[in-house]
Chain A
Amino acid sequence: MRAAICLAMAFAAAYGQGLDPGALLRPPTDTWPTYNGDYSGRRFSPLKQINTENAGSLTLAWVYPAHNGTIKSTPLEVNGILYFTVPDNVWALDARTGRQIWHYHYQSNGGDHIGHRGVAMYGDWLYFTTPDCHLVSLHAKDGSVRWNIELADVKLGYFSTMAPLVIRNHVIAGVSGDVTDIPGFLDSIDPETGKQQWRWYTRPNSGEPGSETWPKEGDAMSHGGGMTWMTGTYDPDLNLLYWGIGNPNPVLAGSGRLGENLYTCSIVALNPDTGKLAWHFQPSPHDVHDWDAVQTPVVFDAEFHGARRKLLAQASRNGYFFVLDRTNGKNLLTKAFTETNWSSGIDALGRPVAKAAKDPTPDGSLVEPGSDGATNWMSPSFNPLTGLFYVSARRIFSEFYLTAEGKPEGWGGRDRNIWANSVLEAIDYQTGEIRWRHELGRGEGVAGIMTTAGGVLFTADNSGNMMVLDAANGRTLWHAAAGGRMENCPMSYELDGRQYVVMAAGDMLFAWASPEKH
């Protein structure tokens, strides 16, 4: 105990109002120190002040109208300060009041401003990715810039939207791309200096294992895509970093890249100290539908058919729910979690087998789900108390066209959305059965999910209603029309004995809490 106090005092001296690195290893209560709240990616808060009994009386604590484009980020909360982003912009707010402490604007040199997921924190420092694919380190005190490095060349089509992940003294940063045929990678950056510690390309080098999944001749593998769009997860005991990898390029035209195209559309495990690959599992071999596998690879330990296992689960964009043994990547369960029409079955490795007839064609091929996916970047949640995995799912029919003639470049095709609706699903992780569904309305839902020890689930429907559901059965306990569509993921923290839940609607941030006692 004394040692712990000494350590805490030493830390306070070293970091001021910054982040205690130990917070990253604890369940998120008074602190939400990383994109998913903790390394597991469960989006499970142990807080229970807001619970199934009282959720109906949830009330507004504050609103922050950022009015700077749609908020798609998850705020961090550290020592009473919230940090959130939209492309090119970071804010620090008082987590008690929503009052702005500082606002940082980055002058980007072009790049894609499609969305932004948030910052990472290490000590007193924030890490912010930019549309022109830089990584900027800011002082959390005032938003002043310490350093700014280029991750990749924006002129080649790179950009970055993701919230980096801090593991010890590694800032793990990923990159995005879309229409150009560029290789994806993951960088580990020194948090103090901005120097690269390692880079892992999401494709093998020529001659390495996995390179046989690409054509031998030509440049398909070195220009094969595989972006690292989203924040990964981490198991401190195994010291393995888990990351979902993006789709191959050219996106819809596979003729120039025959083979399974590793490690695109894969879940990979890396050593965070070296960037060395430990294992991989590929939800969509040789994808031609833009079904990346970047959805959160959620880490939890639980019973699986009678034995306690170290598990990793992903509800993947292709419509399938996967459970893996995260020590070695072996598949334990594969089951469709929504309607799909593109697979003829599951192979011996647990991968869905694609029907060739559902590849894009010049005259159109009707596929479910569409390229926007059976789910996408919005956070799923695993609640250890209910044993359920929650995902924001969509039923999307889309007509896929192949436009490529000659050597495919870029997308080489596109789909046209025909019809969509959305449903929140609670999946039994041991069987893949859907325990309950809660319809969210027409269109494609993009709201994330958080569950808590209070037995409640936070999300939003497609009509602009923020909602609390009973995590056990999906019953609605509370809702509020917040004046915009929710496109971020909920987070929660406790301050002064009060639990707050923060969710965005459009360009405004809302904090909800139980009524104050005056």
Chain B
Amino acid sequence: MSFCRYLLAAACAAAFCQAADHPSKEALDRGQKLFIQSCGFCHGNDATGSRAPDLVRSPSVNHDENGNAIGPIIRSGRPDKGMPGFPLSDAQIADIAAFLQSRVLAALNSNSVGGDYPLQKLLTGNAAAGKAFFEGAGGCTGCHSVTGDLSGIGRKFQPINLQSRILYPGGARSTVTVTPASGKQMSGILVMIDEFNVALRDDSGWYHSWPRNQVQAKVNDPLDGHRKLLYVYTDANIHDLFAYLEGLK
């Protein structure tokens, strides 16, 4: 459960990673190599456990700062659990600690679906089927053209953002026409509408608002087609459509 996905990830990353103050790539590489050599056989090369526990979930690792918690364990071992000691230097322990913190961080960031999400994971659809959906059942050509507004769309957005935008793009504002019981009808960009009030910005930039119970308000939402398609799409339609539009370079 999360109340607010991005805040939470940021808060946790901050809380957990005070110790891992951006170790260098070299330190991480050394730490990983050392870990695989000395620890990977039992704890798994990625530290997620094998015959010995998952260290990403280990209290000692989660409390560790630069090796202060895991160092003594590495050096003395846990003979009662069959773990031998490893005579490593302070610097080596610090490198292993940095590697383990990077594994903890990777777990914390496993909820990241940001703009850098890899294209190859998304590109599972059939572009030809996507084209057929675009021109047929999807009804996309009612508003869009791949030689017009969508020309080169595959270049314009990062892949996962393109997929999100296919489903529901941001930015396109609704317009509204307001008809008072008496007086002039007015149209403009919809600023807000709720149960009680409606507001618009007219062509000259002026703001106007009315109580809903004194006017007729007719909203035109250019994204209505996108919303309706959410009830129609199969996942295959979405992946096909993505493959087609992503290919428009």
Contact = CB atoms under 8 A, between A and B. Distances in A.
Contact of B63 (A155, A180, A362, A410): A155
A480 B98 CA distance: 54
A409 B121 contact: no
Interface stretch (A42-50, A244-252, A267-275): A244-252
Interface in B196-249: 196, 226-227, 230, 233, 235, 238-239
Given A179-B111, A418-B164, A219 B1 contact: no
B25 interface: no
Given A419-B168, A419-B227, A465 B195 contact: yes
Contacts of B123: 363
Interface residues of A, number: 70
A497 interface: no
B49 interface: yes
Q: Which of B12, B16, B63 has the most C-beta atoms of chain A within 10 angstroms of its own C-beta?
A: B12
Nearest to A222: B57
Contact of B107 (A111, A180, A252, A368): A180
B53 interface: yes
Contact of A403 (B110, B167, B192): B110
Q: Which of B15, B46, B109, B192 has the most C-beta atoms of chain A within 10 angstroms of its own C-beta?
A: B15
B122 A156 contact: no
- Size category, B interface: 35 or more
A409 B105 CA distance: 10
Given A365-B235, A418-B230, A399 B167 contact: yes
A366 interface: yes
B231 to A, nearest CB: 8
A198 B112 CA distance: 37
Given A399-B164, A404-B110, A419-B168, A111 B15 contact: yes
Interface string B55-92: 01101001100000000000000000000000000000
Q: Which of A250, A317, A401 has the most C-beta atoms of chain B within 10 angstroms of its own C-beta?
A: A401
Contact of B7 (A114, A176, A246, A461): A114
B7 A441 contact: no
Interface in A360-419: 361-366, 368, 371, 376-377, 397, 399, 401, 403-404, 406-416, 418-419
A156 B59 contact: yes
Contacts of B108: 179-180, 410
Contacts of B172: none
Contacts of A292: 1
Given A407-B48, A418-B167, A461 B195 contact: yes
Given A461-B195, A465-B196, A371 B2 contact: yes
Q: Which of A113, A182, A364, A408 has the most C-beta atoms of chain B within 10 angstroms of its own C-beta?
A: A364
A414 B5 contact: yes
Contacts of B3: 114-115, 376-377
Contacts of B143: none
| A contact face: mostly helix, strand, loop, or mixed | loop
Contact of B110 (A113, A155, A368, A408): A408
Interface string B1-28: 1111101110110011000000000000
A374 to B, nearest CB: 13
A412 B109 CA distance: 9
A357 B29 CA distance: 38
Contacts of B113: 401, 403, 413-416
Contacts of B106: 409
A409 B168 contact: no
Contacts, number: 173
Interface in A406-456: 406-416, 418-419, 439, 441
A179 B107 contact: yes
A397 B233 CA distance: 12
A397 B8 CA distance: 21
Contacts of A113: 11
Interface string A328-348: 000000000000000000000
Contact of B122 (A157, A252, A363): A363
Contacts of A246: 1
A133 to B, nearest CB: 11
A388 to B, nearest CB: 20
B194 A461 contact: yes
A114 B11 contact: yes
A411 to B, nearest CB: 4
A65 interface: no
A219 B235 contact: no
Contacts of A408: 110
A479 interface: yes
A432 to B, nearest CB: 21
B54 A251 contact: no
A418 B223 CA distance: 12
B164 A247 contact: no
A244 to B, nearest CB: 10
Nearest to B4: A114
B15 A112 contact: yes
Interface string A193-219: 000000000000000000000000011
B11 A401 contact: no
B66 to A, nearest CB: 15
A285 B4 CA distance: 24
A110 interface: yes
B2 A409 contact: no
Give 10 nearest A-B pairs by CB, closest first: A411-B111, A409-B107, A463-B194, A410-B107, A362-B121, A407-B48, A414-B111, A410-B110, A363-B124, A292-B1
Interface of B: 1-5, 7-9, 11-12, 15-16, 44, 46, 48-49, 53-54, 56-57, 59, 62-63, 106-113, 117, 121-125, 160, 163-164, 167-168, 192, 194-196, 226-227, 230, 233, 235, 238-239
Given A179-B9, A181-B56, 8 more contacts: A115-B3, A153-B59, A317-B1, A399-B238, A401-B121, A410-B108, A415-B113, A463-B192
14 contacts: A155-B16, A155-B59, A178-B2, A179-B12, A180-B16, A223-B54, A364-B235, A366-B167, A366-B235, A399-B167, A401-B160, A418-B168, A462-B194, A465-B194
